[in-house]
């Protein structure tokens, strides 16, 4: 059973077709990197997976549960249940600015009645330690650097114990010298066999940390393969051109 199965996913904004039949699957424990030019539809594809956008047609199965079945969505309750298995990390962090770092982590699982507050606090402290932010519990997001904010965002997503984590360009809003600390956390998760889909422009990361690379261009997945195949033996000339430009 695949963790995520996407088949013939289509989505248009008005007359603007953004996904024109996207098909792929992600196995449990896999780290999948999604690369490709800007405007290809990478974000839209990711947002469809977690129900931040509604697709027009196709099929999305999360751990064999249908989020989208033949172009039809189940009711809101079912969608919430299916999507609760996934977490997402955004380009712009989207931390809650009025809450402290600790509150950012504690609120979601307490809301969802997943943990009591003391349990959640204990878990939050352990996760903050894991992402290297011990001692920042009482800071406000505005007091943190971009790299620290993104690490808090990753810890916050992990609080809900997702089976899958989606990353939409997690380092694109960061100063170049801060991308390393964030990528190190994602690499660590990859080593622990967290199932992840990472949309990224960090080719080094995609090449070294990903089990599988999807190249997305012109609203479809043009090619999928191991990092070796995509970066050194691509079949499609568009990939050769993209990779040579960005490296």
Partner 1 sequence: MEALQQFWDGLVSQLSYLGKLGINMLPGLQYTVGLFAVTVLLSIPLGLCLALLRNSRIRVVKGLTGFYVWIMRGTPLLLQLFFFYYGLTFIPVVGPYLTMGRFQAACVTFVLNYAAYFCEIFRGGILSVESGQYEAAQVLGFTKWQTNLKIVFPQMLKVSLPSVSNECITLVKDTALITAIGVTEILYFAKSAVNRDVDVSAYAIAAIIYLIMTYGLTKLFNWLEKKFHY
Residue window 125-164: x/- pattern of binding to partner 1, with contact defined by CB under 8 A = ---------------x-x-------------xx--x----
119 forms part of the interface with partner 1 (CB under 8 A): no
117 forms part of the interface with partner 1 (CB under 8 A): no
Alpha helices, DSSP H only, in the chain? Answer: 42-49, 76-83, 101-111, 117-130, 146-159, 176-191, 203-209, 227-232, 237-246
Comparison of 26 and 203: residue with beta carbon closer to partner 1: 26
The sign of the dihedral angle between the CA atoms of 181, 183, 187, 190 is positive
94 forms part of the interface with partner 1 (CB under 8 A): yes
In this chain, which stretch among 22-30, 33-41, 64-72, 94-102 interacts with ligand ADP, using CB under 6 A? 33-41
Tokens, residue 115: 């943990």
H or E stretch covering 23: strand 16-26
107 forms part of the interface with partner 1 (CB under 8 A): yes
Task: Say how far apart CA 14 and CA 108 lie, in whole Å.
Answer: 34
Of partner 1, Mg ion, ligand ADP, none, which one sits near residue 50, judging by CB under 5 to 8 A according to partner kind?
Answer: partner 1
Residues 215 and 45: beta-carbon distance below 8 Å: no
Residues 222 and 22: beta-carbon distance below 8 Å: no
In this chain, which stretch among 38-46, 67-75, 134-142, 221-229 interacts with ligand ADP, using CB under 6 A? 38-46
Binding positions for ligand ADP, rule: CB under 6 A: 13, 16, 18, 38-44
């Amino acid at each position: 059973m695949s963790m995520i199965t996407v088949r013939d996913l289509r989505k248009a904004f008005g007359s603007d077709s953004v996904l024109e039949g996207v098909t792929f699957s992600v196995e449990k424990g896999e780290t999948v990197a999604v690369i490709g030019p800007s405007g290809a539809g990478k974000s839209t594809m990711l947002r469809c997976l977690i129900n931040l956008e509604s697709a027009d047609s196709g099929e999305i199965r999360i751990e064999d549960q249908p989020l989208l079945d033949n172009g039809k969505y189940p009711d809101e309750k079912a969608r919430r249940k299916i999507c609760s298995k996934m977490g997402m990390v955004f380009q712009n962090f989207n931390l809650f600015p009025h809450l402290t770092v600790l509150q950012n982590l504690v609120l979601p699982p307490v809301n969802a009645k997943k943990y009591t507050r003391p349990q959640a606090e204990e878990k939050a402290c352990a996760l903050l330690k894991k992402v290297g932010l011990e001692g920042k519990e009482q800071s406000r997001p505005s007091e943190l650097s971009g790299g620290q904010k993104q690490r808090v965002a990753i810890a916050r997503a992990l609080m809900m114990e997702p089976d899958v984590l989606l990353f939409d360009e997690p380092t694109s809003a960061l100063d170049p010298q801060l991308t390393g600390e964030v990528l190190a956390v994602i690499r660590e998760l990859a080593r622990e066999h967290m199932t992840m889909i990472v949309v990224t422009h960090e080719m080094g990361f995609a090449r070294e940390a990903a089990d599988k690379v999807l190249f997305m261009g012109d609203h479809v997945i043009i090619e999928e393969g191991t990092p070796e195949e995509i970066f050194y033996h691509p079949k499609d000339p568009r990939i050769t051109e993209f990779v040579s430009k960005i490296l």
